[in-house]
Structure 1
């Protein structure tokens, strides 16, 4: 009797699954890939949040991008609308037409 274990052949499907788990997945040019676009903060938290949301497209197939783009567009439009709605500095009283 021998203490060695006979080598067994691993089915191809199991070998691929274990390689993927080990981070050794085959390169798939059709798979989503990060664009690695640098997003510079603007200083406006609403706008910056929308720019960060664009990073979600890095992990989606191309047909999933439109949903993210529409969401970001809506968020940016809301941020611009909010800027218009904020009250500005008080307007000084007009002296036009008053008699002293």
Structure 2
């Protein structure tokens, strides 16, 4: 039991003599798979669905989708306030 712990004893794989580098499980980012329940408002539901477009884009392009959705949700909320008047 007094055997020293090392990468081999722990089953770790690293870069060094007699070891191979570990490849990531996926080749790139993957979608989170978040399930969103419909809100009942077609406009809002379409905007929320639009967020899924970011899954197919590189990270630096996500902001465009987020800003578009934010703008649409803000407009939908403004329209609710305008209808109250």
TM-score range, shorter chain: 0.5 to 0.7
1:46-91 alpha-carbon deviations (Å, 9 max, x no partner): 1111100000011111111100000000000000011111147xxx
Residue 50 in 1 paired to residue 31 in 2? no
Larger radius of gyration: 1
Q: How many residue pairs get matched?
A: 61
Structure 1 residue runs of 4 or more that deviate by more than 4 Å after TM superposition: none
Asked if the contact 1:51/1:72 (under 8 Å) is kept, the reply is yes
Match of 2:57 among 33, 39, 60: 60
Q: Provide the rounded CA distance (Å) in 2 between the counterparts of 1:75 and 1:32.
A: 27
Asked if the contact 1:32/1:59 (under 8 Å) is kept, the reply is no
Q: Which has the higher contact order (CA 8 A, sep 6+)?
A: 1
Normalised by the length of structure 2, the TM-score is 0.64
Unaligned runs of 5+ in 2: 1-25
Unaligned runs of 5+ in 1: 1-26, 89-100
Q: Provide the rounded CA distance (Å) in 1 between the counterparts of 2:69 and 2:33.
A: 18
